[in-house]
Structure 1
């Protein structure tokens, strides 16, 4: 090795050894502007002496899939794409492959996804980050393309990009703010014996880092500072617009909020937030979980409240704000669309079996498709009012494990439908739990999936292929759950019968 460090020596080389040579140019993305941005990014990587770049994309579950590449090969990846196996889109929540990926079409109905072959991740250069907790490591999000050059229809980031394009065609932009809860526990036993390396693995044995049920107590917050401080620092260091990181209701429960962001950037932020929290916690001997209701004693449910509005593209002015009413006509139409399509959209806001343990068993969670003016029992809470430039809606139904791209895309499409059809949401209701005549939200994932399956609206907007693929993924998860003998069944029936 010469006097240069290894990454610096590699970065100076031009190589086409990764990906498919000239792929980005072939699909029409190799603009002079992108090449200029790539040159600046490669120079930054060299200046920072980075060694590894994590090339990432997000699967249908909202999980990050990565391939780490040596920094010297990053220019090649940016021009040629990074190969990933198409089978990654054929895995359910436990990574079981639920379709014949080796068939001619891979079970996807497309020959360019057959044989479990390659798809190409094309890095979005604007998403590059340096991970402060990982040694000399960069990170970048990618869009997924198929060998044919087509955008992969199952890439959830693409679904939201298309929804935002529909908004832009009408002169609007999406504004999304994250308010999400999670639990942080001390790991007592990581369960790393081979006997515990099952599929899925046996989860770690954990204990609380602090008692709960002392909401907003300064003493609890101070005791949690050893966790909150490094989380805040990491979230800020990766460029997230952190607003608050504080203790929530249950033992070790934390709530994190971000400033609102525009369009796809809002969903990207949620992906990076979850990943940052989990990785930083792990390095402290802790386990951070965005599971809605962990199966642990005295643990409270977590939610993801999605704050959202539209802005006028040319002026940037909030399209929901009104000088004379609590919300504009555009905002009312958006509300009506969300209510109209709530049953099917719940499959995206609550895509896990566990998420419905909160909706059904938590007195603070919404249960019906209604809206209200600043009432937190409603599915949709209006925040703001007459003349308030920050007027927006808070959808309180979502779970922290939701895929942000599909969740936000479904909100955009549903809201636009209400605007386009000039739907009327009716008056804001003041006592949400008393509205027993209003439509109930799905009681479980199977009901939500059935509602989505029968939704001609979401099939038209997202595409049959996207909806069918999502449903197949969820039905695999549901099928495994229904075949599992629970502790409840064992206790209920084993000795009785």
Structure 2
């Protein structure tokens, strides 16, 4: 089983200490059977262990041994470096891929309503010395939120997340289908789609939407809306504004919960941005954001003459200045770049505008509106939420510190004379690697690490023979 050599309470805040006391009481009162200890990996996918309840109470205080080997996997669990090479990933502490320790965050504890007497809790990954593993993405966001707090601000996020619901026709569970990656399930559409926000289309899939809605609410998430989107079976959920870390934690649990609940009910949910369906329309993750101060509330709201305050204006200037370099963090998959098309409600250039959904950054609200904020429309639903939010804070803080101007607004974002977003993941990697700001804020080991993981993904994609190539060349040549 191993020994962690960490006492969690040495790493906890006072708030976490108090939450841990409440958990011990709740475990007894609810007569819990087990607790899922979860950690969000480099892709924003939850990994972890299911603990018997008595063992969990020990782990809550002392941490749980966990394999650092999970850090070297791409999205199909292919190792991107030799598993036991010296100095793996540029950090000598990773040599030999020793066990790390998952340190639970007691403030994230909740009950999973679809399971019998089962709890759930998020963790950060530490070395056995107590040091945070530098590749732990939740820790990266916490660090950036700390820098923002030192500047006198807190970060507020509103989540709009789109995804597709499909009905499973064949789960494809033969051994021949169990490769890396495994064959995806064969699915069919749950509705015809293309009647945006119509009550009828939403009602056609009301049964599964009710399951999702009831469980999301039972998890304590501040759900605001469940919406019928554009494509066949495409849905969107939105949430009330949340503090930065809680917003990211909500996204990782939401995606995992939706996929689990759908699978249990004969459906498949995908947060892939552009599924290979006929007539599919891309899904996005629109991130609403603002800064707040303890004494003045929303720091982005302007006045009767300007929709944005100077703080909001310079923060937006930073988002735009570093949007291309941050593409690897906001759009981390090969597939996500196929969303950037003209007139598609997804951006393809680095622009901003007031109340214009074709721009990369939309100023949502208006002059004299105390709730005015920024909506970044660049992200894909598969993005690691900790890295997506961290990219916004890093970019925005640089905009504030250097008073970066956002330039003129773009009334026609798809025709504007503005830099284009990277057209592919392959183009995004060098932009990420070359960013001095990201190397300074994330650390060179992490920048090199994530670029390595993503380059491995690109290399596998480039080596694959696609259906397009087969149709294009097989017969004619």
Q: TM-score, normalised by structure 2?
A: 0.97
- What is the rounded CA distance, in whole Å, between the counterparts of 1:136 and 1:173 in structure 2? 35
CA distance in 1, matches of 2:250, 2:18: 25
Secondary structure of the 1:485 match is: coil
1:477 corresponds to: 457
Match of 1:9 in 2: none
Question: Is 1:18–1:81's contact at 8 Å kept on the other side of the alignment?
Answer: no
Could you tell me how far apart the structure 2 residues matched to 1:36 and 1:452 are?
A: 40
Mapped pair 1:139 → 2:120 = yes
The aligned residue for residue 240 of structure 1 is: 221
2:272 to 275, 291, 296: 291
Measured in 1, the distance between the counterparts of 2:2 and 2:371 equals: 46
Q: Which residue of 1 aligns with 2:84?
A: 102
Question: How many residues matched?
Answer: 476
The answer as to 2:43 corresponding to 1:61 is yes
Corresponding residue SS for 1:215: coil
Separation in structure 2 between the aligned mates of residue 414 and residue 337 of structure 1, nearest angstrom: 5
Gaps of 5+ in 1: 1-16
The correspondence of residues 148-227 of structure 1 with structure 2, limited to 5 A, is: 148-227=129-208
Q: Is the 8 A contact 2:16 2:105 kept in 1?
A: no
SS at match of 1:433: coil
Query: How far 1:380 sits from its partner (Å)?
Result: 0.4
CA-CA distance at 1:430 after TM superposition: 1.2
1:75 aligned partner: 57
Moved more, 419-428 or 229-238: 419-428
Structure 2 residue 215 is the aligned partner of structure 1 residue 231? no
SS in 1 for 2:345: coil
Secondary structure of 2:329 counterpart: helix
Contact kept in structure 2, 1:322 and 1:388, CA below 8 Å:
yes
Identify the residue that residue 7 of structure 2 maps to in structure 1.
23
Q: Compute the TM-score of the two structures, normalised by the length of structure 1.
A: 0.93
Residue 59 of structure 2 aligns to a residue whose secondary structure is helix
Q: 1:76 to 1:411 in 2, by over 3 A?
A: same
1:491 paired with 2:471, answer: yes
User: CA deviation digits over 1:340-383, x for unaligned, max 9?
Assistant: 10111111111000001111476221110010000000000000
Question: Cα deviations across residues 80-118 of structure 1 (Å, max 9, x unaligned)?
Answer: 21111111000001110111231343x123332221220
- Could you tell me how far apart the structure 1 residues matched to 2:370 and 2:240 are? 15
Confirm or deny that 1:428 pairs with 2:409.
yes
The Cα of 1:32 is off from its aligned counterpart by: 7.1
Residues 102/144 of structure 1: CA separation in 2 closer, same or farther (3 Å cut): same
Over 3 Å counting, the alpha-carbon distance change for 1:150 and 1:21 in structure 2 is closer
1:467 aligns with 2:447: yes
- Distance in structure 1 (CA, Å) of the matches to 2:310 and 2:21: 46
Report the CA distance between 1:220 and its aligned residue: 1.1
SS of equivalent to 2:85? coil
Given the superposition, is the C-alpha separation of residues 158 and 102 from structure 1 closer, same or farther in structure 2, using an over 3 Å criterion?
Answer: same
Report the Cα offset of residue 493 of structure 1: 1.0
Q: CA RMSD in A?
A: 1.5
Alignment of 1:375-394 (within 5 A): 375-394=356-375
CA distance in 2, matches of 1:185, 1:18: 42
Greater shift in the superposed pair: 107-116 or 139-148: 107-116
SS of 1:342's equivalent in the other structure is coil
Q: 1:30·1:79 contact (CA, 8 Å) conserved in 2?
A: no
- What corresponds to 2:301 in structure 1? 321
| Structure 2 gaps, min length 5 | none
Match of 1:369 in 2: 350
Change in Cα spacing, 1:414 to 1:214, as seen in structure 2 (3 Å) is: same
